[in-house]
Amino acid sequence: MRLGITLMFVFSLCISYAQNASYNTVVPTRAFLPPPTYIRDVFSSPYETKAHADVKGSPFLEDKWTLARLKAEGRKQLIDSFHLKLNVYDNKIHFMDEKGVEMETTIRVEEIRIIDNSSAWLDKIFRSGFDKEKGFFEVVADGGKLTLLKRHGAYISESKPLGMEPQKKFEPTTELFFSSGYSLYKASKNCTFIKEIFGNDKRILDFISENNIRCNKEEDMKKLVTFVASLN
């Protein structure tokens, strides 16, 4: 008899505990999920917005958050489908973490692809992480062994209108490069770097000579990359 009463008492306690636990349990919700751990590892430094508070304009390639895919050097996985900003003045990538804190990174990044349908840069690829030249290099034309890149940057101009305080403003810049593998070559009129990549390949040297190619003019540089691609 006593055993039966004891079992009933224990059973009642279990039911009471389950009901209270169910009633008191609240499932937390988030406006968005936190990024994968490896993203937080990459974007580890808060962005100091006050650094350029007195400068008009924007240090970013595009001032809005843009959906992109990123490949960081030394990491197998892609960082896919997250929003970033490319800071072309400081040469850093910005990201908003789950707490709404804007973060930045200075790690070496191999490639960034814009996948945002609302972006003016949709489907554009940017390469980075070159040893001797910092910045974000837009792939303008890819010929396999020879690629035409356009580096996007910015500088701060300063003017002093009469009777007014000095005014600072971000000014965008672009600069053309060729690349072959991980080597970069600045645009130059005479195309002398070609021999460093292709040796004395008569087909390429003749094409440059016969078409009066200037390796500091974007249209000529595109023609050269297209010709090199046709040889592959």
- pLDDT, tens digit, for every residue of 116-126? 999 999 999 99
Residue owning tokens 């440059």: 208
For residue 17, the model assigns a pLDDT of 39
Six-digit token string for 143 = 């010929």
Six-digit token string for 229 = 């691609």
Six-digit token string for 103 = 């973060």
The residues pairing with 86 across neighbouring beta strands, listed in sequence order, are: 93
| Amino acid found at 46 | P
pLDDT 10s digit of each residue in the chain, 232 long? Answer: 444 444 444 444 444 434 444 333 333 322 333 444 455 555 556 666 667 888 999 999 999 999 999 887 777 767 777 889 999 999 999 987 777 778 887 667 889 999 999 999 999 999 998 878 889 999 999 999 999 999 999 999 998 877 788 899 999 999 999 999 889 999 999 999 999 999 999 999 999 999 999 999 999 999 999 999 999 7
**93 by DSSP, 3-state: which?**
strand
On whether the CB atoms of residues 208 and 193 are closer than 8 A, the answer is: no
What does the alpha-carbon distance between residue 179 and residue 186 come to, in Å, rounded to a whole number?
9
Six-digit token string for 10 = 């224990």
